DNA sequence: GGGGCCATGTAATCGGTTACATGATTGA
DNA sequence: TCAATCATGTAACCGATTACATGGCCCC
């Protein structure tokens, strides 16, 4: 139920419309908790129905500006203080690694070097983002910078690991070669 | 559509029943791609309907043993060779960091130190797992070890980052204090 | 006038989780 | 005999994605 708390968290910092929130999701939170337009609008209606937020003003084109209510603030703080995030599951990039034995060694290596490069590129993008928000002293940016630093370290670590793993392919393949083998690519003609 | 390829990947290494696969998901893949029982069984039926796997034997209690077909092998290799994983979204632990300004500094710090400790514990668990599978030379274990190394590095990196971030709280709070402030906890009496 | 942005919503579908339901076989 | 394990399936629900649908407002 984290989208709910993401919306609450944003409205705790500034009142805004669904359209306003969408922009924030697309910029500040895109690497952390992306949300689609339809999801944001229906969550706003659900939160309003539950009394955690309220319409504070209406504007042109049916614009509805929402503010967080006391109940909403309480719920946000309860979530932050009393619950802990679940471990991160469903890591597709890592799932693939398990099955790399299905590919010829050079293709397996190619995947890992691609992963390394993709993470170096990612790191560069984050560095640019960091420069952009350097002067921002709003709360969201202050704490967002901590999250961004995580992104930087993660990209660096992943790139290093992928390069290391690419080098391990030869070791693995020599173990496989030293077996009266079945499985893997053994069905090839 | 990764569950589909996870099942294909496992059946590429050994024929097995839904029950057999469940055990592998619960052990080898639990940190990477968990799957529920109902999901595995319905995916097996779907894969069989699509001709990517086939029932190779039946046993007691309605046991159905599946093997991967040539089409299935082709699809698995196509997935590995021609598609690339999407970036990892929806990281709840990081979403929370953005909203830590809603908590008093000591509670924000507490969250980060908890994160650091949780990752140190995680690392220890992975080290134990590593020792357990040390002698296993099946393909799944060979490549699985690369993924495990990722887990180890990730836990170490995250723990270090969280400890670093916890130390940054004071800096952030002094920026906030030096503002004729609104937002955050400013609504408190 | 018209293009681009502001603004909100609905519907279909998908992948995943949880709970429910059932029963056969094996071995102590 | 009876508990543990093997074994497969269905149904309800939830969160998320994608596509569709509509229209007002602002400024050039």
How is residue A89 written in tokens? 């599951």
Whether the pLDDT of residue A31 is over 60: the answer is yes
Backbone phi, psi, residue A104, to 5°? -60, 145
Minimum CA–CA partner of B181 in chain A: A138
Of the candidate ranges B25-34, B147-156, B178-187, the one whose mean pLDDT is the lowest? B178-187
Chain A: give the shortest CA distance to residue B55, in Å.
18
In sequence order, what DSSP letters do the residues of B7-50 get, joined into one string?
A: HHHHHHH--B-HHHHHHHHHHTTTTT----HHHHHHHHHHHHHT
Residues in A 58-77 whose C-beta is less than 7 A from nucleic strand D are: 60-61
Q: Which of A13, A97, A149 sits opposite B183 (nearest CB)?
A: A13
Chain B: give the shortest CA distance to residue A45, in Å.
22
| Helix, strand, or coil (residue A56) | strand
Residue A91 Cα distances to A145, B3, B124, B153, angstroms: 24, 11, 20, 15
Q: Does the beta-carbon distance from B150 to A172 stay under 8 Å?
A: no
**pLDDT at residue B183, rounded to an integer:** 47
B 115-134 near A (Cβ less than 8 A): 118, 122
Backbone phi, psi, residue A79, to 5°? -60, -45
What's the average model confidence in pLDDT over A57-69? 97
Whether the pLDDT of residue A186 is over 70: the answer is no
Using the CA of A61, which nucleotide's C1' is the nearest one?
D24
Whether the pLDDT of residue A185 is over 80: the answer is no
Using the CA of A59, which nucleotide's C1' is the nearest one?
C7
Of the candidate ranges A38-52, A171-185, B64-78, the one whose mean pLDDT is the lowest? A171-185
Whether the pLDDT of residue A168 is over 50: the answer is yes
Of the candidate ranges A30-34, A176-180, B81-85, the one whose mean pLDDT is the lowest? A176-180
Burial label for B33, CB within 10 Å (0-12, 13-18, 19+), is buried
Q: Which of A8, A25, A31, A27 is nearest to A133 (CA)?
A: A27
**pLDDT at residue B180, rounded to an integer:** 55
* DSSP 8-state code for residue A103: S
Cα B165 to Cα B111: distance, rounded to the nearest angstrom: 10
Per-residue pLDDT reduced to its tens digit, A91-118 = 999 999 999 999 999 999 999 999 999 9
Whether the pLDDT of residue B181 is over 60: the answer is no
Are the C-beta atoms of residues B51 and B67 closer than 8 Å to each other?
Answer: no
Q: Where are the beta strands (DSSP E) in A22-156?
A: 53-58, 64-68
Q: Which of B5, B153, B183 sits opposite A161 (nearest CB)?
A: B153
In b/e form, how buried is each residue of B91-104, taking b as 16+ CB within 10 angstroms?
bbbbbbbbbbbbbe
Place of tokens 């059946």: B11
- A84 and chain B in contact, CB less than 8 A: yes
Per-residue pLDDT reduced to its tens digit, B130-179 = 998 888 888 889 999 999 999 999 999 999 999 999 999 999 999 888 87
**pLDDT at residue B188, rounded to an integer:** 46
Place of tokens 């049916």: A62
Residues in A 139-158 whose C-beta is less than 7 A from nucleic strand D are: none
Residues of B in contact with A29 (CB under 8 A): 95, 98
Cα A12 to Cα A98: distance, rounded to the nearest angstrom: 43
Cβ neighbours of residue A27 closer than 8 Å, sequence gap 6 or more: none
pTM for the complete prediction? 0.92
Are the C-beta atoms of residues A176 and A158 closer than 8 Å to each other?
Answer: no
**pLDDT at residue B137, rounded to an integer:** 86
Please work out, in degrees rounded to the nearest 5, the angle formed at the alpha carbon of residue B114 by the alpha carbons of A141 and A162.
75
Q: Where are the beta strands (DSSP E) in B29-125?
A: 53-58, 64-68
Per-residue pLDDT reduced to its tens digit, A69-95 = 999 999 999 999 999 999 888 999 999
- B177 and chain A in contact, CB less than 8 A: no
């Amino acid at each position: 139920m984290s989208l709910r708390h993401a919306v609450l968290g944003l409205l705790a910092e500034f009142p805004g419309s669904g359209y306003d929130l969408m922009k924030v999701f697309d910029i500040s939170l895109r690497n952390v908790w992306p949300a689609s337009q339809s999801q944001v609008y229906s969550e706003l209606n659900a939160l309003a129905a539950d009394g955690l937020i309220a319409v504070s003003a209406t504007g042109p084109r049916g614009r509805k500006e929402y503010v967080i209510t006391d109940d909403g603030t309480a719920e946000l703080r309860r979530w932050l203080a009393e619950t802990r995030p679940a471990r991160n599951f469903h890591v597709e990039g890592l799932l693939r690694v398990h099955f790399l034995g299905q590919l010829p060694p050079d293709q397996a290596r190619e995947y890992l070097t691609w992963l390394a490069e993709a993470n170096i590129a990612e790191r560069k993008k984050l560095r640019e983002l960091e420069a952009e928000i350097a002067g921002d002293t709003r709360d969201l940016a202050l704490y967002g910078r901590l999250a961004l630093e995580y992104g930087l370290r993660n990209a660096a670590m992943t790139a290093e690991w992928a390069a290391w793993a690419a080098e391990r392919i030869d070791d693995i393949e020599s173990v496989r070669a030293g077996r009266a083998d079945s499985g893997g690519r053994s069905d090839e003609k």
